[in-house]
Structure formats: structure tokens, C-alpha cells
Amino acid sequence: MVFMQSLTLESATEKSPGWLARIVPRLHAKAFSGGLIVLTFILVGIFGPLLAPHDPNKQELTAMLKPPQGIGSPHLLGTDNLGRDIFSRIIHGARVSLLVAFAVVFVSGFIGIGLGAISGYLGGKADFIIQKSVEVVWAFPPLLLGITIMAFLGQGLFNLILALLAQRWIPYCRVVRSQSLSLRERDFVTAARCLGATKIQIIARHILPNLIQTSLVIGTFAMASAIISEASLSFLGVGVPPEIPTWGTMLADARIYISTAWWLPLFPGLCIFITVLGINLLGDALRDILDPRLKRTGSGI
């Protein structure tokens, strides 16, 4: 009898494994590969001056348009049309992309989450004004709006971040508002309201902490979008000043040499592709882990 009970218990355990046992085997590849790429991207951005073998703006006209020479050579990935080292410029370009991506994600997240929580919880006139502002800003094409802002403010890293912030807060605001509409009807919010908590206290202590998981996923994908947008504006010549090396600027300079010097557009393009792919993989893994429906049913991967 004891043997039958233990056999039944083992069978039930095998048929209904925990959600962690179902998720981890499917997510470890995406989480590990995406996390490794993002970590490498961050380390290269932080320790860029120590890793770069040359000054990214140093010109050597006698060494212009040299192809990649391999490990141990003076120019690992070759040189551009002014003799500048491609490898050093790519490393310093990672620093610009890192700074822009994190600045845009954190500032836009702060603005969007705050406005979304206020809009969803307070409702009424506050909700109407905030959502109408969202509709007005959202009506402009993102790239065209960024070009317009940069044309008005001029080139500069700070101005570039402002241009990218113009619409990046809207996804946070829209998603957070929809969740706040649901959270404000929950029992713990009603209990806090009955105990005399103010609206600010309820938003700060009960609404915002429940929005962290969703905002984290949105921020991960927003980082990839910010890197692509920064490269696009730099490629069009309205990003950072020309003396600051970026991946988009390197692609713009390589346009006329694409048929004669293949390495000029290849390496910065690969950097953009690999970095965005790694961030998207990490964001996809975080979404699967933090999705409440996934925790309950194990589906959605």
C-alpha cells in the first residue's frame, strides 16, 4: 500500500513539474546569450579608453583604407579613409551608444511611469490631459520628430538624448496607465484608502511597486530602440558632432567606400546588429520570466 502511494506521488510529480522547472530549460539559452552580449557591451563602454589601442580621431594618411590585418597587427579591423583605427572607433562608439541608451531608458521610464500611474489612478481631468498629450506627441513619426528637434537645437549629445526622449516615454505611460486602472480597484488599495492614506502615498507605496516588472521589460526593449535611433540620426548627420565617433557616423562615412572597402560598413553594422539582438534576447527572456500568465500556465514561450 505504501509502495502504491509513493508510486502515485512520483507519477504526479513527474506529470506536474513546477513552473520553474518548465521555464528554466527553455529560457537559459536566451537569457545567457542575451545577458552575455549586454554585459560585454557594458564592459566595453565602461573600459573603452583602456581597451582602445589608438586615439579614435588620430589620422594617419599614410595608412588610409588598410584592410583588417588580424590579431597582433597595429590595426586589427583596418583603417578608414583618413587612416583612423576602426577598432578604436568602434570601442569608443560603444560608449556613446551605452550612454544614450541608459539615459533615454531611465529618464523616459521615470517620466512615463510617473505620468501613467497618475493618469490611471486619479482619472478624470488628469487622465484626460495626459492621454491627449500622448495622442498629440504620438501622432508625429518618431524619426521625423527626432530630426526636427535636432535641427532646431543643433548637434550635441545632450540634444540627441532630448530628441530621443520626445516619444520614448509614451509606451511606459500607456502600459502603466492600463495596469493602474486595474490596481486601483484591488483590495489592498481600497484598504489603504480606508486607513486614510493620501493619493500620493497610495501611488508611491502600492501602485508603483507593482509596475516594476512590466516597466523592466519595456525598458529593455526601449534600450535596443534607442541604440537604433541614435545610429539612424548619426547616420543622417544630425546626431552627435562629427568629432565624437559613433557607429552611425561610421556607417555614414563608409557609404561611398562600400564597394571598395568592405570593412568600413561591415564592422559598425555588425556591432549594431549584435548589440540589439542581445538586448532583445534578454528582454524576451525577462518577459517570459515576469509574465504572470507564464508563471501560472507555463505557456507563452
- Which grid cell is 85? 583605427
Alpha carbon 176 to its chain centroid, in Å, reads 18
How far apart CA 148 and CA 9 sit, in angstroms, is 66
Specify burial of residue 297 (Cβ count, 10 A radius: 0-12, 13-18, 19+).
Answer: exposed
- Which grid cell is 227? 541604440
| Residues 157-208: tens digit of each pLDDT | 888 899 998 888 998 998 888 888 888 888 888 888 888 888 788 888 888 8
Strand ranges inside the chain, DSSP E? none
Domain boundaries along the sequence of the chain:
37-54+73-297
Query: Among 84, 34, 48, which residue's Cα sits nearest to residue 63?
Result: 84
Q: Which residue has the cell 560603444?
A: 94
Residues 175, 42, 273: CA angle, nearest 5 degrees: 70
- Which grid cell is 213? 516588472
Phi (first) and psi of residue 199, to 5 degrees: -65, -40
First-to-final CA distance of the chain:
40
Per-residue pLDDT band for 274 (boundaries 50, 70, 90) equals: very high
Q: What pLDDT score was predicted for residue 106?
A: 92
Q: CA dihedral in degrees (130, 132, 135, 139; nearest 10)?
A: -120
What Rg value do the Cα atoms of the chain yield, rounded? 25
Phi (first) and psi of residue 79, to 5 degrees: -130, 165
For the domain covering 37-54+73-297, report its CATH number.
1.10.3720.10
Least confident piece of the model among 6-20, 182-196, 232-246: 6-20
Stated pTM of the model: 0.79
> For residue 52, what is the DSSP state?
-
Helix (H, G, I), strand (E, B) or coil at 250: helix
- Residue 72, sorted as left (phi over 0), alpha (psi -120 to 50) or beta, turns out to be left
Instruction: For residues 17-46, give the mean pLDDT.
Output: 72
Q: What pLDDT score was predicted for residue 27?
A: 55
- Which grid cell is 4? 502504491
At 154, the amino acid letter reads: G
Per-residue pLDDT band for 11 (boundaries 50, 70, 90) equals: very low
CB 179 within 8 A of CB 211: yes
| Residues 85-115: tens digit of each pLDDT | 899 999 988 888 888 889 999 999 999 998 9
